Amino acid sequence: MRIIINDLNEIIGYVLTGELTGSVEFDGHIPDDFTETFKPTLYVLQSGSIARNANYTPPVALIANTPDAQDEINALLLKEVAALHTQLGGHQ
C-alpha cells in the first residue's frame, strides 16, 4: 500500500495498488476497517503503524450562499432604479 501523509503524519490519501504522487510505501498492519471508513486525516501513521487519529475533527460543510426572498426583492428594486435612471437620461 502507498500512503500520503501530511506534516502531522495524518494519512490524507492512499492506494492499495499502483503509484500515487508524493506517497510512501507502507507494509505494516492496516486496521480491518481502514478502507471502509477512510477519510483524509481520520488515520495517522504512528510508530510505523496506522491508528485512528485522536485529534481528528470532521471537516465543516460549507453552506451554499443562495439568495433568499429579500435578496431577490433587492435585485428587482435595483433593476427598476437602473431602468428609471436610464429613462431620465442618466441625469441626477
**What pLDDT does residue 30 have?**
93
| Biggest alpha carbon–alpha carbon distance for the chain | 77
Q: Are 2 and 19 in contact (CB under 8 A)?
A: yes
The model's pLDDT over 65-85, given as tens digits with 9 standing for 90+, comes to 777 888 888 888 888 888 888
Position 91 scores a pLDDT of 59
pLDDT single digits (tens) 9-62: 999 999 999 998 999 999 999 999 999 999 999 999 999 999 999 999 988 877
List Cβ neighbours of 41 (8 Å cut-off, separation of 6 or more).
Answer: 6, 8, 10, 11, 12, 53, 56
Cβ–Cβ < 8 Å for 20, 13 = yes
Domain ranges of the chain: 2-52
